């Protein structure tokens, strides 16, 4: 059994651990566990502190802190801590009671929080993460601590400085406990730039990719189709180049009958629902009532399921485009009707959306020239987020594109806010514009695409102040990609 496995077994034992009261043995086991996974040149870039006492009223702990701290007393920065309790332990990331120190940069960096929240999703919410990692005044909520083994004495002392934690119980499976403790420990080492070695390095790199996939989750065609058939009104939203329109059309084709319209600022109620249009006659000028896209699609849906794909749905003023028809977009109330202001020939005077009519929209979250969707629209549609996919770029196997895209994902993940992350260029920007049918000349086409599309896009984000505090990092990213494309 490895030293790390033995350590996890002691954590599961909690206050019944054989290490309680044994400072030297505990320190040795933790050091051995670290040496199993850390590059030898990074040994010593940490201190191990141990205070495992027998009394339930004592805030017992053992942990790893930064090497620049004293051997005892208050310390600064982040730490990895084991709190033994009744029926198990709590394993946590903690801020030292002497403050953030140099680790303000770690805790204030969006990437650290994103990776923690991705781990929480990977462990089905078992890992608790504080809403604000820099908040050292708010305690862990009782609703969370009630699910943990009892560590009341430790919480009394340290609750406000715990920013991520998981309960490890005596009665749980060894492998399950080892995985969540390993993830938290490896993330702590990674954020402190302490390098893994050998098999531990390979395992952590694979785990990092899984974490990234939970930061940027994928959406399968089957998921979109199932949601569309269930909810009827769905919007695919995400950054540019993530394949929203392509996926929407694939789903529509699978369902069978479909049509596509594209919204833009000049789109009107008359175009989409119903309108009067002038027409020349022998007697002069007359007005003709014409059905819009919605009426025509609804008429088609009387026969069978029919998908109306609305591309760039948020580029039009939806309140004006839909008018009173907005009230019909209620998937649970298909019997709703509205009276049309004008009735085209062959259509009833009241509009009722057929249950067979499915509306699938796409929305570019990077387009800041238009207003956000209002709440009336949001509550009537189901939304699926689409994010960049590194797997798609790797499948094309163009080394320059893979390297550049990995840098884009890493930089945006690490430094941008949640709102700015929605600007990240999607995988389509890194693919051969001619697709897989013309492999000859692909490298040069990808190189030009990086130079003429990706770099200008990134520079525009900086010039238009769209990436705020991450401007310096995005500018550096643009420079790196430009240099890659030149070499």
What are the residue boundaries of the structural domains of the chain, listed by start? 3-215, 221-385, 391-486
pLDDT band at 441; cut points 50, 70, 90: confident
Sheet arrangement for strand 357-364:
257-262, 306-311, 357-364, 233-238, 382-385
Total Cβ atoms within 10 A of residue 130: 24
> Looking at the predicted structure, is the pLDDT value of residue 381 above 70?
yes
pLDDT exceeds cutoff 70 at 239? yes
Model confidence pLDDT, tens digit, residues 194-222:
999 999 999 999 999 999 999 999 999 99
* pLDDT of amino acid 287: 72
What pLDDT does 29 receive?
A: 97
The pTM score is: 0.87
Q: Which residues pair with 50 in a beta bridge?
A: 62
Residue 345 CA to residue 244 CA, distance in Å, equals 36
Q: What pLDDT is recorded for position 72?
A: 87
* Lookup: tokens for 191: 């954020």
pLDDT digits (tens, 9 = 90+) for 84-96: 999 999 999 999 9
pLDDT at 234: 96
* Mean pLDDT score, 226-242: 94
Residue by residue, DSSP assigns 228-256 as HHHHSEEEEEESTTS-HHHHHHHHHHHHS
* Pair of tokens at residue 464: 């238009």
Extract the tokens encoding 79.
Answer: 């730490």
- pLDDT (mean) for 120-138: 95
Strand partners, 95: 78
**How do residues 265-274 score in pLDDT, each as one tens digit?**
888 999 999 8
At 138 the three-state DSSP class reads coil
Summarize pLDDT for 245-256 with one digit per residue, the tens. Answer: 999 999 999 998
**What's residue 317's pLDDT?**
86
**Residues 75 and 99 sit within 8 Å (Cβ to Cβ):** no
E-strand spans in 24-124?
46-51, 61-66, 78-85, 88-95
Of residues 377 and 469, the one with the higher pLDDT is: 469
Nearest to 426 by CA among 222, 237, 235: 237
Q: What's the confidence (pLDDT) of residue 377?
A: 77
Residue 262 exposure: Cα atoms within 13 Å on the Cβ side: 4
Quick: pLDDT tens for 154-186: 999 999 999 999 999 998 888 889 999 999 999
Kindly give the interhelix angle for 471-486 and 399-415, rounded to the nearest 10 degrees.
Answer: 170
Task: State the pLDDT confidence band at 474, using cuts at 50, 70 and 90.
Answer: very high
Indicate the DSSP class of residue 470. G
Domain 221-385 = CATH 3.40.50.300:
yes
User: Residue 262's beta-bridge partner residues?
Assistant: 311
Q: Give pLDDT, residue 102.
A: 87
Q: What is the pLDDT of residues 39-80, one digit of tens each?
A: 999 998 999 999 998 877 889 999 999 999 998 889 999 999
- 115 by Cβ neighbours in 10 Å (0-12 / 13-18 / 19+) ranks as buried
Q: Please give the pLDDT value at position 286.
A: 67
Sign of dihedral through CA atoms 166, 171, 175, 176? negative
Tens of pLDDT, residue by residue over 272-318, are 998 876 666 666 666 778 899 999 999 999 989 999 999 999 888 88
Mean pLDDT value across the chain: 92
7/178 Cα distance (integer angstroms): 9
> In whole angstroms, what is the distance from residue 468 CA to residue 387 CA?
21
Token pair 């009261």 is found at 21
The percentage of residues in the chain with a pLDDT greater than 70, rounded to a whole number, is: 96
Q: Is a pLDDT exceeding 80 seen at residue 437?
A: no
Radius of gyration for the alpha carbons in the chain, expressed in angstroms and rounded: 28
Spatial separation of the C-alpha atoms in residues 49 and 64, rounded to whole Å: 6
């Amino acid at each position: 059994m490895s030293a790390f496995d033995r350590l996890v077994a002691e954590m599961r034992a909690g206050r019944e651990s054989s290490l309680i009261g044994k400072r030297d043995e505990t320190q040795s086991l933790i050091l051995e566990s670290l040496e199993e996974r850390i590059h030898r040149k990074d040994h010593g870039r940490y201190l191990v502190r141990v205070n495992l006492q027998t009394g339930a009223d004592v805030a017992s702990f053992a942990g790893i802190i930064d090497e620049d701290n004293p051997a005892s007393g208050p310390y600064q920065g982040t730490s990895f801590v084991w709190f033994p309790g009744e029926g198990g332990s709590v394993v946590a990331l903690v801020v030292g009671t002497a403050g953030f120190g140099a680790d303000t940069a770690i805790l204030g960096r969006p990437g650290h929080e994103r990776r923690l929240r991705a781990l929480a999703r990977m462990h089905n919410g078992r890992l608790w993460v504080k809403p604000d990692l820099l908040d050292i005044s708010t305690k862990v909520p009782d609703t969370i601590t009630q699910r943990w083994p009892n560590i009341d004495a430790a919480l009394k002392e340290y609750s406000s400085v715990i920013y991520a934690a998981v309960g490890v119980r005596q009665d749980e499976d060894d492998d399950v406990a080892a995985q969540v403790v390993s993830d938290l420990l490896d993330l702590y080492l990674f954020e402190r730039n302490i390098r893994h070695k050998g098999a531990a390095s390979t395992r952590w790199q694979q785990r990092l990719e899984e974490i990234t996939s939970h930061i940027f989750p994928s959406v399968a065609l089957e998921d979109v189709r199932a949601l569309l058939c269930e909810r009827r009104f769905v919007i695919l939203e995400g950054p540019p180049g993530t394949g929203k329109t392509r996926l929407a059309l694939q789903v529509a084709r699978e369902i069978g009958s479909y049509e596509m319209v594209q919204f833009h600022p000049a789109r009107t109620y008359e175009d989409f629902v119903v309108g009067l249009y002038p027409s020349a006659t022998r007697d002069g000028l007359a007005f003709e009532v014409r059905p819009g896209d919605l009426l025509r699609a609804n008429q088609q849906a009387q026969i069978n399921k029919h998908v109306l794909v609305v591309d760039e749905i948020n580029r039009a003023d939806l309140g004006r485009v839909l008018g009173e028809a907005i009230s019909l977009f209620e998937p649970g109330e298909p019997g709703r009707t509205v009276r049309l202001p004008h009735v085209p020939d062959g259509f009833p005077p009241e509009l009722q959306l057929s249950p067979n009519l499915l509306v699938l929209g796409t929305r570019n979250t990077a387009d800041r020239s238009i207003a956000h969707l209002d709440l009336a629209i949001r509550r009537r549609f189901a939304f699926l987020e689409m994010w960049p996919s590194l797997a798609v770029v790797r499948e094309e196997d163009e080394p320059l594109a893979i390297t550049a895209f990995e840098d884009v994902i890493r930089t945006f993940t690490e430094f941008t806010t949640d709102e700015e992350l929605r600007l990240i260029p999607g995988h389509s920007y890194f693919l051969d514009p001619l697709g897989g049918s013309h492999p000859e000349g692909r490298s040069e086409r990808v190189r030009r695409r990086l130079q003429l599309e990706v770099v200008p896009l990134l520079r525009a984000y900086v010039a238009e102040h769209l990436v705020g505090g991450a401007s310096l990092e995005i500018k550096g990213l643009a420079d790196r990609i430009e240099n890659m494309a030149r070499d």
